[in-house]
Structure formats: structure tokens, C-alpha cells
Structure 1
Amino acid sequence: MPSRLRWMRLRPQELALIAITAVWGCTFLVVHWAMEYSGPWFFVGIRFLVAGLISAVIFRNVLRGIRWSDIGAGATIGLMIHLGYGLQTVGLQTIDSSTSAFITAMYVPLVPLLQWAVFRKRPHTMAFVGAGLAFVGLLLIAGPDALTLTLGQGEVATLLSTLPIAGEIILISVFAGKVDLGRITIIQLLVAGLLSLLTMPVVGEGVPAFSWVWVVAAIGLGAASCLIQLTMNWAQKSVSPTRATVIYAGEPVWAGVVGRIAGERLPATALIGGALVVLGILASELRIVRKRDAARTDPDAANADPSQ
């Protein structure tokens, strides 16, 4: 049956996700600097404890009514945050950013498949198209060197991080609307921070020497993490995991822009890759609508000449 493309305008929730993706991308250089003065698990732990304390102050009035469902949901998402951010940070100690970006990009095509498995609902065709375009764009941003993987310790850690990153996005959508926004934000951030600190003795990481670099970075990124997780929890009540993932794929683009401002020169392939990520976001906002379905919602379509 003939079909046509219908444009779906960006809603406030999607615009909010684009905004926090920009914030997310801007944190790359800060993390890079902080790793020169701190171990990965300590820094991730302090970062999310700060984020959790900030959110606890903001949502202190809702803590009295906390339920076991809030604790369970928040702890599960917090575990995913702990593993995703922690493993990715571990990887960045031994591999360059282009290789890390390539491996981390694996979560982009992974989320639609996980969404299909979890929700038993196949994402629409253009969502797959958008995820595919974003993934190709991320490959171009990563550059040709990222394709020559040796699977050392850093590559393996980063590769493993893609699973909890994808899991976090799926779980946020699973629990969205079922638990209190403030409570789940507090719990997931505090759990992520505590688990990261508890990981330190397991991997043999010690407390770093005091430095204003990691202190300021942890406080600043803690505030950013609070904003990011709060927005994700709110927006993904109505934004599907697949569409959210395509939007999140813009993170390396924003990171590249910040890097360019900081003096890094982007190759032409990276610029093309950034354009493909943006195109992927736009493509995911399209729908292939059959004329019969369009007639149900569009009176003009019902009276249109079928020969046109």
C-alpha cells in the first residue's frame, strides 16, 4: 500500500535531551584532565555522590514517602550508571579518545534491539534508520585509527561499558512513570557513587593525593550529572529508548565542538560524521505512514484523490 513520510516535530522532552547531550559532550575534556590527578573509580564515586547530595537537597521533601519500588528501581539504574561510567573511564586511561568513541558507539544500534526484546514492540523503521546513520557518523568521528582494535585492557573495558550504558537507557524507560522522579534520581546517583568507591579496594585503587583539579572537576561534573540524570528520568517517560539513543549519539559531536574550541583541529571525516549524527536525529523524527492510517487522523487525506 502506498505510504508517505510524516514529520514529527521535536517535543519539549526531546529538546531537553538534546540540551543535556550538549552538556554531556562538554564534560569530556574535564574528565580527561581529572584522570591525570585521580583514579577512575574514585573520581566516578565522588562525582556521583556529589550529584546525589545535590539531588537530595533539591528533592528533600519527597524522601519521607520513599517506597521499596523507588529503592529497587533507583538501585538497578544506579548499578548500570556505576558500571557504564566506571568502565568507560577505566578504558580512557589506556586508549585514545577516537578508539573509545568508536567502541562506545556500539550502544547506539544495541538499544533498538534491546528495546525490541524488553518491550516486545518493534521500533518504527525510521528509528532504525536514524540509529544506523548516527552509528556511521560516530565511526567517521572516531577516525580510521579506531578501526584497528587490538582488544587490550582499555578496549575490553570500554566495550563492556556499552552494555550497562544501553541497559541504563532501557531501564529508565521501564521505570519511567512508575516511580517518583525525585526519589529515583537521588537513589540512582547515590548508589552509583557508593558502588564506585566500594570498587576501589577490589581493583586495588587508592585514594589520590589532594588536588583542586579533581575536586573542582568532581563538583562541577556532579552538578552536571544531577541535571543529566534528572532530565533523562523526566524526558524518557514519553521518549522511546531508541529515539533517546539517537539523540544521545550527538554527544561526540558536542565533544568535538568543545575540542575544536580548545584548539583541536577536526578532520573533514569527523565533520561529515557529525552531520550524519544530526541527520540521524532528524531521520528518527520521521514516520512512514500508510495512506489508510493517515486518513484516520487527517480528514484531508481521507478525501484526497487516490491516484495522486
Structure 2
Amino acid sequence: MLHTPVESREPARRRLPISRQEGALLGITALWGSTFLIVHLAMQHSGPWFFVGLRFAVAGLVGIVVFHRALRGMRWRDVGAGAAIGFSIALGYGLQTMGLQTISSSTSAFITALYVPLVPLLQWLVFRRAPRALTLVGVALAFVGLLLLAGPDALTIGLGWGEIATLISTLPIAAEILLIGFFAKSVDAGRVTVVQLLVAGAVGFIAMPFAGEAAPSFSWAWLLPGIGLGVASCVIQLTMNWAQRSVSPTRATIIYAGEPVWAGLIGRIAGDRLPPIAIAGACLIVAGVIVSELRPGRRRAADPAPAAPSSSGADPQPDLG
């Protein structure tokens, strides 16, 4: 009499199409997209650098409460990594917030998405790794999309200050992603998260006098969003530092490409009405982001996740493009 093997009686476990880390990145991407409208509204009551300082100072304080035990083992490597990432965060969010004073949250989000195809270009400059052909195609699509999103004036070099500030902000935001990938496996995620948030907050406040910005008069309209976004920023930065230890940069950047889509949907609900040509430009930007990360003819297994964390500081050059 034949006996059914024990293994065959057990129900097969279904593997989810995405990992837990990828699901977390999807969640923070949606959260990230919602912040554009909140910041845009807060800019009616506060200056950009003060708001950035408040937002990340609150985030840093939340991080201290959450990771106070891990902070006892702080190393200079954690401090250095956190300071570098924090400076990039402050510069990127500061310029982006300046732009949100004059442009809609949807427009800001789609322009900000240009940081994704910029990541492999920065890697080319820093690590001397030439970008793939599809990366260049993606950059071209995103550039055409930017022109359409900015409107007819863009063809006569008529981008407004808000669009220009947001466009410049994509460089430090791309550098942030590059730095996170660079340090991810050689530092403690909790410690680095706290340091980078505190540094970003400090840089925001320090930049105020240089930008000619005074502290705003008290208003719940900037205090509550500042506190709420501070908590959200802590969650977002911690999740990025944790998830990118096991999610490949390619997969992570494709997930991040959904950020402007979420922002556009939320902006639409709030009353943003982009003209058809701008919507076409937004679609081209998202297409450029995705195309720049495609790897045709490669199996998923060929795009390995990063190795387990190591204190040796290995993997100094992540594959971001």
C-alpha cells in the first residue's frame, strides 16, 4: 500500500509577490506622497527653512525616544553617515519646500520624481560606472515630461522660481538615496536615523538667517503639520534605512516612482487641476523613472538583494543604475 509522504499532506505556503520590506516601502511611498499637499498648505503660514528645521527636529526627538538604548553604542561611523545623509535631506527638502510656496503639490511631486533617473547619473560621476542605455532613455523621457509639465513657457526658458528650486532639490535628494545605499550595510539603522534627522533639523534652522528668513508668528497651521510631518519623517527615514538593507536599489527606486502618483491623486482630491499637457508630462516623468530602472532579459534572481549586514563596512559601491 502506498503511503502519501508527510510533506504532501501539508498545505503549500503561498509566497507573497512582494517581501515584507518591499511592502513597507510601498506604505511609506504613499505616506511620502501625501506630505506635498500638507507642506504646500503650511507654507502659507511659515517660511520654508524654519518649517524644515521644525519638521526634522521633531523627527529627531521622536527617534531619540524610540532608539535611546541603541544610541549608547553610537560609533563615529554612524555619526559620519548620519551627518552626510542629514545634510542632503536638509538641502533637498529645503529647496523643495521653497518651491512649494509658489507651485502646486502635484507639480512639485512630479518634478521631484526626477531624482530617480538622476541616481545612476550621479553614480556615474562618483563611482565612474557608465549608465545603461535604458537609463539615458529614461532621463530623456523625464526631461521631455518636465517641459510639458512646466507648460509652454518652458520652451522659452521660462521656468518659474518654484519649478527651478524644486528641480535643483532633486540633486541632493538623489544624493540621499545614493548615500543610504552606500552606508546601509555598515551602520546601525536606528542610530543613523536619529543623527540624520537631528542634522537635517539643525541645518534647517541654521539656514534661516542666510536665507533672510525670520521665525513665523505662532500658528497652529504650521505647528501641527510640523509635528505630524516630523513623526512621519522619522517613520519614513527609518523604514528606508531598514528596508534598503535587503531590497535591491533597483526594486526600491521602482517603488519610489509611485510617490508622485500618490501626490497627484491627493492633490486632485484637494482641488489641483493640471491641464492635459501637464498630465501628459507627468506620465512621461513616471515612465522615465520606470524605464531608467528596467533590466530586460534579466531574471529577478540576477538582481540580488544586498548581503546581510556586516560591521566590516563592505559593499562601498551599491548598484544603483
**Structure number with higher helix proportion:** 1
Equivalent residue for 1:212? Answer: 220
Q: Deviations over 1:201-260 (max 9, x none)?
A: 122211101001101100111111111111111122233445433322322110111122
Matched, 1:235 2:243: yes
Amino acid at match of 2:182: V
Amino acid at match of 1:213: A
Q: Secondary structure of 1:289's match? A: coil
Q: Secondary structure of 1:178's match? A: coil
The answer to whether the 8 A contact 2:105-2:267 is kept is: no
Equivalent residue for 2:201? Answer: 193
Q: Distance in 1 between matches of 2:163 and 2:274?
A: 23
Deviates more, 1:34-43 or 1:103-112: 103-112
Equivalent residue for 1:72? Answer: 80
TM-score, normalising length from structure 2? 0.75
Equivalent residue for 2:154? Answer: 147
Equivalent residue for 2:9? Answer: none
Matched, 1:89 2:97: yes
Gaps of 5+ in 2: 1-16, 303-321
Number of paired residues?
282
1:119 is displaced (CA, Å) by: 4.9
Deviates more, 1:50-59 or 1:116-125: 116-125
1:191 is displaced (CA, Å) by: 0.3
Matched, 1:163 2:163: no
Q: Distance in 2 between matches of 1:12 and 1:117?
A: 33
Deviates more, 1:82-91 or 1:14-23: 14-23
Matched, 1:14 2:22: yes
Equivalent residue for 2:70? Answer: 62
Gaps of 5+ in 1: 1-8, 294-308
Equivalent residue for 1:288? Answer: 297
The answer to whether the 8 A contact 1:170-1:241 is kept is: no
Amino acid at match of 2:235: L
The answer to whether the 8 A contact 2:71-2:191 is kept is: yes
The answer to whether the 8 A contact 1:88-1:158 is kept is: yes
Q: Deviations over 1:119-154 (max 9, x none)?
A: 55567776x389559837964983635734425543
1:27 is displaced (CA, Å) by: 0.9
The answer to whether the 8 A contact 1:21-1:247 is kept is: yes
For the aligned residue pairs, the C-alpha RMSD in angstroms reads 3.2
